[in-house]
Amino acid sequence: MTNTKVKYIWKRFAELSSDELYAMIHLRQKVFIVEQDCPYIDADYTDQDAFHLLAYKDNDLIGYLRAFRPGIKYDGSSLGRIVTEINSRGLGIGKEITKEGVNFLSKEYPDNEIVISAQHRLEHFYVELGFTARGEVYLEDDIDHIQMYLPPKQN
């Protein structure tokens, strides 16, 4: 990839083109199912309720996450399926898409905390972004996870 700027695009499910949907599903399956050797059903019927953040460099999808309003996944708003393409790791893309997600949810739902079900090995990554862990480590799809929370922003 050339050294060009990353373009971030927010879309609702119905706004995704077939190419965007395919690229999104491909990236999620490539990382979460194949790379992490974790067979699970990614299409969980909640994508339709999500806001989708697509991160493009040139014409390649290099990062993605989905965001939910309060009450869909948790009482608070939430982020999930945060993923960076393997060749784009170490460039800060994961941190940037997570910040984009936090900013979006903080603007749309300012009175709600943000909840994530984080892979336990990435707890420090999320702590650096202001999240705190609550509760015990648990297994989700045979991978250790922990619930993490970000309080509403104080204005």
Say whether pTM exceeds 0.85. Answer: yes
The 8 Å CB, 24+ separation contacts for 29-34 are 30/85, 30/86, 31/83, 31/84, 31/85, 31/86, 32/81, 32/83
Predicted pLDDT of residue 2: 44
8, containing H or E segment: strand 6-12
Predicted pLDDT of residue 37: 87
Structural domains of the chain, with CATH: 6-110 (3.40.630.30)
**Any bridge partners for residue 8, and if so which?**
55
Q: Give the whole-angstrom CA distance, residue 40 versus residue 117.
A: 16
Predicted pLDDT of residue 63: 97
Predicted pLDDT of residue 1: 43
Strands laid side by side in the 77-84 sheet: 6-12, 51-57, 60-68, 77-84, 114-119, 143-150, 132-140
Q: Which two tokens stand for residue 39?
A: 């067979």
**Any bridge partners for residue 138, and if so which?**
145
Cβ atoms 120, 144 nearer than 8 A = yes
48, containing H or E segment: none
Extract the residue ranges of the chain whose pLDDT is less than 50: 1-2, 155
